[in-house]
Structure 1
Amino acid sequence: MSLPLDVAGETLWLLPEGAVWWPARHTLFVADLHLGKGAAFRAQGQPVPAGSSRATLARLRQLVDAHGAQQLVVLGDFWHGREGLVAPLLRAVADFCTRVPTTLVLGNHDRPIHPHELPLRIAEQPLVIGPLVAAHEPPATDATAPAAFTLAGHWHPAVSLRSRAGDRLRRACFVHYPQLLVLPAFGGLTGAMSLDLRTLARTQGRAAVLAEGSIAWLATPR
């Protein structure tokens, strides 16, 4: 189950996989893949299992194929670290990008290391696509926020849920403000920043939490 979100005269669909689908432009948005993170950790002697980046690309390809996407926009942090730019991963990315036109809005992890020989379109600054702006770092959410509706990443947002029995569960989420949508991290080996729902509500924000095959807006706390 996906959630529609009407912004800037367009309908976006928030997908339970943590991506955004824009059917009018046949465009898929994702954020924070952090490809090569496992390899970077292993290069530093950390016992991290292999295969996370390959699985992330496979999930992304499934989404592209399922929606017939004609364009993919990655909202920054495609890569994690220089040590993770291993030859098999670079070949896999090159193959992926020849199948679907891919634009990378450079994130803080990408800027110092991005291998420019890959068939990726690069946006060094926030990218205007019709009435929307694609960015990596979220702009301000207060009165100084830009007029254009922005999609961003960088935060790796998540919320902590608690049952009546006292059990706690942390889930990735989308965060929506009047002029901003922050996407969850799509990568399979990423951390998360837990957000306080009361603080979100005070700043006109709300969260849509991801579950297995579904997504739902959380009730605003009183």
Structure 2
Amino acid sequence: MNGLRVEAAGETLWLLPSGAVWWPATRTLFAADLHLGKGAAFRAQGQPVPAGSSAQTLAQLEALVAAHDASQLVVLGDFWHGAQGLTPSLLNAVTTFAERIPTVLVLGNHDRRIHPEGLPLKVVSSELSLGPLTAAHEPPPAGMPGFTLAGHWHPAISLRSRAGDRLRRPCFVRYPHALVLPAFGGLTGALTLRRSELARDGADVAMLGDGGLHWLLSGR
């Protein structure tokens, strides 16, 4: 499998180069922060953002589900971006997607006030218990019991060459109590995390790049 294996709460998880996570024991795929409709929301405000980002995100997810023969997809919040992005074409596309792929949405801060009713999605308001694992949007504080998969941060890490060039890439952050996924959506921003703080907190960091994943920092 083209990914990185991690052990959490007695379970084996695979971090995928796409930014998703695969849990083979339950045939569950996790993704975070799709921000569907973000481009449409910007275009509604007169910003010249190209169309097609949401369709591409859904197509990438559908391909991952098919490749892994997943039985369900769990989205760790911020499925939507904003009310102006909830166009009829996007709602139709999500309906078609969710009718084919059993999808659970753990509501994120962008979703809670705008999630439309009547879509064939299972919606969880705060967190979802999945045996030894918990699915949530916001990462829990350090020291919390159990193990949580979360999003919300859009984590990224910055590299600097000896020549002074900088490169910033999305990343997974694996703490003793949680795994924070990078944003899956195509138009999302990112929060650059400090390597010194990650090391202090005992975090492992896997950076996305060149269609693969690379361990960049190990706090253990």
Q: TM-score, normalised by structure 1?
A: 0.96
% identity of equivalent residues: 67
Question: 1:91-145: per-residue Cα shift (whole Å, max 9, x none)?
Answer: 110011011110000000000000121000000011000100000001102xxx3
Residue 165 of structure 2 aligns with which residue?
167
Residue 89 of structure 1 aligns with which residue?
90
> Which secondary structure does the structure 1 equivalent of 2:111 belong to?
coil
> Which secondary structure does the structure 1 equivalent of 2:49 belong to?
coil
Q: How does 1:52-91 map to 2 (within 5 A)?
A: 52-91=53-92
Question: 1:18-68: per-residue Cα shift (whole Å, max 9, x none)?
Answer: 000000000000000000000001111111111110111111111111000
Preserved contact between residue 105 and residue 122 of structure 2 (Cα < 8 Å): yes
Q: Alpha carbon RMSD of aligned pairs, Å? A: 1.0
Residue 3 of structure 2 aligns with which residue?
2
Structure 2 gap segments, 5+ residues each: none
Residue 156 of structure 1 aligns with which residue?
154
Among residues 202, 211, 216, which one is paired with 1:218 in the alignment? 216
> Which secondary structure does the structure 2 equivalent of 1:69 belong to?
coil
Aligned length: 218
> Which secondary structure does the structure 2 equivalent of 1:218 belong to?
strand
C-alpha distance in structure 1 between counterparts of 2:112 and 2:217, whole Å? 38
Q: Offset at 1:146?
A: 2.0
C-alpha distance in structure 2 between counterparts of 1:213 and 1:82, whole Å? 32
Question: 1:153-198: per-residue Cα shift (whole Å, max 9, x none)?
Answer: 0000000011122211100000010010000000000000000111
Q: AA paired with 1:124?
A: S
Residue 187 of structure 1 aligns with which residue?
185
Q: How does 1:3-18 map to 2 (within 5 A)?
A: 3-18=4-19
C-alpha distance in structure 1 between counterparts of 2:70 and 2:132, whole Å? 19
Q: AA paired with 2:139?
A: P
Q: Show structure 1 runs of 4+ deviating over 6 A.
A: none
C-alpha distance in structure 2 between counterparts of 1:212 and 1:111, whole Å? 34
Residue 117 of structure 1 aligns with which residue?
118
> Which secondary structure does the structure 1 equivalent of 2:214 belong to?
strand
Of 161-170 and 73-82, more deviation after overlay is shown by: 161-170
> Which secondary structure does the structure 2 equivalent of 1:25 belong to?
coil
C-alpha distance in structure 2 between counterparts of 1:167 and 1:130, whole Å? 44
C-alpha distance in structure 1 between counterparts of 2:92 and 2:210, whole Å? 31
Q: TM-score, normalised by structure 2?
A: 0.97
C-alpha distance in structure 2 between counterparts of 1:109 and 1:153, whole Å? 12
C-alpha distance in structure 2 between counterparts of 1:187 and 1:198, whole Å? 27
Structure 1 gap segments, 5+ residues each: none
Residue 139 of structure 1 aligns with which residue?
140
Residue 201 of structure 1 aligns with which residue?
199
Is residue 47 of structure 2 the alignment partner of residue 49 of structure 1?
no
